[in-house]
Amino acid sequence: MKRLYQGRRVILTSCLPVQMQPKGFIGSTLNQKTLVAELNRALRIHQENKKDIIDLKEIYKNKQQIYERASNAEDRLVNNMVAVAYPSAFTRQIVGYTYPGGIQFVPLTEEVRADVEKLNRFMKAEDKTAVDKIMENEQSIIGTHYRAILPDALVPNECPFEILPLNAENTFVAYSTYNRRKPVYSYHSFMVEETPGGLQKFIHQVYTGNMCFVYKSDSEFSVQESDFVSATPHILKDVPIIEYPNNEFRLGDWELGIDLFNAINVMTSDGLNDVEQAVLCYLVLLGVRTPNEEELKAMKKNKILNFEGAQGINQDAKFITAQFDGQSAELFRTYLENAIHTVVGIPDRNSSGGGDTGEAINAKNGWREIDTVAKNKAMFTEASERKLLRVALEILKPKYISKSLSVLDVDIKIARNKDDNIQTKTQAGSTLYSMGVAKSDVAAIMDISTDIEGFTKRWEEAEQKKQANANKKPQDSVPNTENIA
């Protein structure tokens, strides 16, 4: 049965730890006694998500449905299987457009600049840029990404924390039914061998806002009370495994277009079959004695057919071929490709602008759509980065940075290149500014920077500096008396 991909299911729970229970709470309390039943319920949902994650990664690596035709290849004269690698191409383009300058922590005031610079150095020491790249790709492919930020206790180095990208197939975050944005606990598992080549066990780790529970089980998707290993408190004040969803439904960038990929692959493969069958088609001889093997060799070598049938019988030789209607096939393929670009939000390279220029050609070719896709992805990424930042500050304070530094002092910037058609944009901005429109509105309408607030502030500072220079009085000139007689 063909599998439908409609995003990853969000795991919700009404079983909350004491510190998260709102006033009038009537649910069960999350603790060591209730955790086993709660975790087993969540693992059943996660098991379905894991199937999708594995499939989507395989599709990204170009293991597409067309290759399943190999099972009935003997039923075809020719059986070309060509998969156009749209998934990897679309991921490359969307990720490259959304995160061209990476993710940056920026101080909002001069007073915290030194601390934020130190924070960025710690992040660089932990190769956060490389971890972000994994996040960007997984967001696009499977609709989400998970990473852990923990104190660097095992192998201490120059950075007091470590950032670990986690395998989404073995990780999830459960959220509160009372507030779907608030994580209640996170889960990660991995396999170990009791002895080399021997019995395999699964380690299940569950993090709440103040505890870490560990179980060792024979099963990957269930635990029992007897599997309990340890319960260790931590001081991070938050769930240290953070999810980076691509959108609220955890949809990958192109998974809604998988059926369109499959249709294009079928048309491409069967188009090649059509060409190859014209070469490998059968020769039918009508009213002609069947040539023997020697005669067939001579005919093939000399490119001559010699008919010696009975008198009065029509003699004929034909190749059996069945060809597609090329024009109809091309129109249908164009329709499918246009549908893919519309669904995914990718610009169309083959679209001709005609007499259109500037924003008109951007709207026609689909550049506005990919800009919308990038904005939506960036919103969810910024929210996840704030959760990461909150845990990082708990680890760093007060030994490495000021105790007063908070997430309110740090901005998260995902810079994108928006200098296309810049001349037209700035001309429109100049006209609006001369009409008295506020600088912030002008900056938003021009759309040449993702940092509207910072752009406006730098604009005002430049104006003030220019005005100050213009108001300076020239120094009184001193007459030159050297040449006076």
Out of 355, 376, 399, a domain closes at: 355
259 and 229, same structural domain?
no
Residues near 158 by Cβ (< 8 Å), separated by ≥ 6? 125
Q: Is residue 477 part of a domain?
A: no
Q: Is residue 404 part of a domain?
A: no
50 and 181, same structural domain?
yes
pLDDT of 485:
40
The phi-psi region of residue 366 (left if phi > 0; otherwise alpha if psi is between -120 and 50; otherwise beta) is left
Out of 219, 243, 267, a domain closes at: 243
Q: Is residue 484 part of a domain?
A: no
Residues near 65 by Cβ (< 8 Å), separated by ≥ 6? 2, 262, 265
In the numeric block, the tokens 């500037």 are attached to 358
pLDDT lower than 70: segments of the chain:
1-2, 70-77, 154-157, 195, 275-289, 299-313, 315, 317-326, 349-366, 417-421, 450-451, 453, 473-485
For the chain, the helix, strand and coil percentages under 3-state DSSP, each to the nearest 5: 45, 15, 35
Out of 243, 277, 301, a domain closes at: 243
**pLDDT tens column, 75-122:** 556 778 888 999 999 999 999 999 988 898 999 888 999 999 999 999
Q: Is residue 423 part of a domain?
A: yes
pLDDT of 293:
81
Task: Name the residue among 243, 175, 187, 195 with its Cα closest to residue 214.
Answer: 187
Say how far apart CA 141 and CA 133 lie, in whole Å.
12
209 and 78, same structural domain?
yes
Q: Which domain holds residue 317?
A: 255-355
Contact 177, 274 (CB under 8 A): no
H-type alpha helices, 317-421: 326-344, 358-365, 367-396
